[in-house]
Amino acid sequence: MNASTTLVYDGSFNGFLTAVFVAFDEKINVADIQKNDQSQSGLFSETETVFTHVEKAKRVWNGVRNKSHNAISNVYFAFLSEAEGVEMMLYTYIQKLMRTKNGKYLDYSDSTVLYIDQLAKKVGREKHRMEAFVRFQLTKDEIYFANIEPDFDVLPLISKHFRDRYADQKWLIYDVKRKYGIYYDLNHVEMVSLNLKDIHHNKTIKSDAFTTEEYEYQTLWNNYFKSINIASRINPKLHTQHVPKRYWKYLSEKKEAV
């Protein structure tokens, strides 16, 4: 029996997959898989740092994908949840997938499978929410700009949706919490980091970064939102269930409510 080892990786998805590769390849008895900025050494385990290696990562990716497309997307989505301890759960999940017959990812009576499936669903829900709740504001240099603050790291997941849809306008979506954004320049989407002076959410003070028409359209949208309300059907509980309060500060129709 090998002594157990904690694998430390750089926090990237490829880094994590490399760690999985190393664990399989070297038959390591894994105690934990941790990001390098949060690693804690265990009392009875050794620590080994894994350097991200795209080819190795790709082999794990392909191995899981050959088992099932659903499974690899579950792995990616669940990883982006940034949930505590998700790496170990994913490692167990991948182990189970590789060891058992095909279709293991459908075994909802296995607690690891069900956990990963439900976690991936949560991230999927957040992705869908961000596709809905992004509110672009037109800057004076003709870029449609939006701040978001999603529960999970969903920017890599929503990039395609926005690129397909808004193909003829420049746009930038910036994750305030994780301090990076995606920018579309009419040709490609690229990752950017910005030195934002202030976060552009619902403030009553107008920023001179945006066009005057921008505020006119926000007012129109805000008015529209009020006009479609049916007072005799009001149901605040259902409303906040669909639009949780933590998102309100980035929704222009919620300006007064914040």
Partner 1 sequence: MEYFQAMNFDRIREKLNILADAAKYDVSCASSGSDRVNKGKGVGNASKMGICHSYTADGRCVSLLKILLTNHCIFDCAYCVTRKSNDVPRAAFKVQEVVDLTINFYRRNYIEGLFLSSGIFKSPDHTMERLVAVAKKLREEENFNGYIHLKSIPGASDELMYEAGLYADRLSVNIEVPTISGLKLLAPDKKHEDFTKPMEKVKNEIVRYTSERKIIKSTPKYAPAGQSTQIIVGASGESDKDIMYSATHYYKTFNMKRVYYSGYVPVTHDSRLPAIGSQVPMLRENRLYQTDWLLRFYGFSIGEILNNQHPNLDMDVDPKLSWALRNLHHFPVDVNTADKRLLARIPGIGMRSVDKIIKARKFRKLNWDHLKKIGVALNRAQYFMVCDSRHWERRDLDADKIKGMILQHSSGKFRNQYSTQLSLFN
CA–CA distance, 11 with 14 (Å, rounded to integer): 8
Q: Which of 54, 167, 194, 258 binds partner 1 (CB under 8 A)?
A: 167
Q: Which of 128, 170, 178, 249 binds partner 1 (CB under 8 A)?
A: 128
Residue 159 as a binder of partner 1 (CB under 8 A): the answer is no
Residue 258 as a binder of partner 1 (CB under 8 A): the answer is no
Residue 225 as a binder of partner 1 (CB under 8 A): the answer is yes
Phi, psi (degrees; rounded to nearest 5) at 47: -115, 135
The amino acid at 146: A
Question: C-beta of 17: minimal distance to partner 1 in Å?
Answer: 26
Question: C-beta of 204: minimal distance to partner 1 in Å?
Answer: 18
Minimum CB distance to partner 1 smaller for 1 or for 236? 236
- What is the end-to-end Cα distance of the chain in Å, rounded? 58
Residue 158 as a binder of partner 1 (CB under 8 A): the answer is no
Phi, psi (degrees; rounded to nearest 5) at 139: -85, 165
Question: C-beta of 121: minimal distance to partner 1 in Å?
Answer: 10
Distances (CA, A) of 161 to 29, 167, 193: 40, 10, 21
Q: Residue 93: which of 55, 57, 123, 63 has the closest Cα?
A: 63
Question: C-beta of 14: minimal distance to partner 1 in Å?
Answer: 29
Residue 160 as a binder of partner 1 (CB under 8 A): the answer is no
DSSP-based three-state secondary structure for 234: coil
Residue 195 as a binder of partner 1 (CB under 8 A): the answer is no
Phi, psi (degrees; rounded to nearest 5) at 147: -95, 140
For partner 1, the binding residues (CB under 8 A) are 103, 106-111, 114, 128, 131-138, 142, 144, 146, 161, 164-169, 211-213, 216-217, 219-221, 223-230, 232-239, 241-243, 251-253
